[in-house]
């Protein structure tokens, strides 16, 4: 029997690389938006107030458009001293580049002492099958500390300012493999793999 296709519904290059790595031994044939013919100008709004809400909207909208089993993810950084900001607005927290946005966080936190610089990444994954309308979600959370100055070149987004105390390095100093073993996305994807195998494999 041919392997079932699983669409990874994101255009964020950093996420795609990490998801492909985590699903490299998947039971499914993992495909991207271009491969199922979703045009690059097809945009999905993210109006929800929660990551779960936006992950569900992305999975259902892309899944219906492509007619294919779909995994979408919404993720973000929640900083304790900023009352959980940027949170669901992480990709849109100020204009410019990823670097502009992490520098904005650093400047907002200039006066925050070392023992109050805790933060977490959260990732919510939604899996949607347009044929049966079955929908499942799962989540991963990853705690760390916001550094004073960015360190490292790997990863994407806020990785250069997110420090892992146990590993004594920022996310941006980790290989893809190491980040996958500790991160919010890695945790959510390990749960998603079980859900996919138990509930969506046929
Ligand atoms: P899609 O909606 O196409 O998946 P996006 O970039 O808009 O892509 P999100 O709405 O989920 O994705 O925004 C997540 C943002 O949070 C992302 O742009 C990064 O700035 C940040 N982020 C999420 N996960 C991250 C990670 O593992 N490392 C660093 N930053 C991360």
Report domain extents, the chain.
5-200
Question: Could you tell me the pLDDT band of residue 3, with boundaries at 50, 70 and 90?
Answer: confident
Q: Count Cβ atoms within 10 A of the Cβ of residue 131 and give its class: 0-12 exposed, 13-18 middle, 19 or more buried.
A: exposed
Q: What is the CATH code for 5-200?
A: 3.90.950.10
For residue 63, the CA-to-ligand 1 centroid distance in Å is 20
Atom of ligand 1 nearest to the CA of 76: 16
pLDDT tens-digit profile of 131-174?
999 999 999 999 999 999 999 999 999 999 999 999 999 999 99
Q: Is 61 in the pocket of ligand 1 (CB under 6 A)?
A: no
pLDDT tens-digit profile of 97-113?
999 999 999 999 999 99
Active site residues: 74
pLDDT tens-digit profile of 21-68?
999 999 999 999 999 999 999 999 999 999 999 999 999 999 999 999
Q: Token pair of 129, please?
A: 């099958």
Q: Is 10 in the pocket of ligand 1 (CB under 6 A)?
A: yes
Q: What are the Cα distances from residue 77, in Å, to 26, 166, 183?
A: 27, 19, 12
pLDDT of 1 strictly over 70: no
User: Of 178, 76, 64, 175, which is closest to residue 119 (Cα–Cα)?
Assistant: 76
Beta-sheet strand order (sheet of 70-79): 29-31, 5-8, 70-79, 118-129, 134-146, 162-164, 169-170
């Amino acid at each position: 029997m041919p392997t079932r296709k699983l669409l990874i519904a994101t255009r964020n290059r950093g996420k795609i690389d990490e998801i492909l790595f985590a699903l490299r031994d998947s039971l499914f044939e993992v495909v991207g938006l271009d491969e199922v013919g979703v045009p690059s100008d097809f945009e999905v709004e993210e109006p929800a107030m929660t990551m779960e809400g936006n992950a569900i909207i992305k999975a259902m909208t892309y899944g219906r458009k492509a007619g294919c089993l779909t995994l979408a993810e919404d993720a973000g950084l929640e900083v304790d001293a900023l009352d959980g900001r940027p949170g669901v607005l992480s990709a849109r927290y100020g204009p410019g580049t990823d670097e502009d946005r992490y520098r904005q966080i650093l400047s907002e936190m200039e006066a925050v002492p070392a023992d109050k610089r805790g933060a977490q990444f959260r990732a919510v994954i939604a899996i949607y099958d347009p044929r049966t309308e079955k929908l499942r979600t799962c989540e991963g959370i990853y705690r760390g500390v916001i550094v004073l100055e960015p360190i490292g070149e790997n990863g994407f987004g806020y990785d250069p300012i997110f420090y892992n105390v146990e590993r004594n390095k920022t996310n941006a100093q980790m290989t893809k493999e190491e980040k996958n073993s500790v991160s919010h996305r890695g945790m959510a994807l390990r749960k998603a793999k079980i859900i996919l195998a138990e509930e969506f494999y046929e």
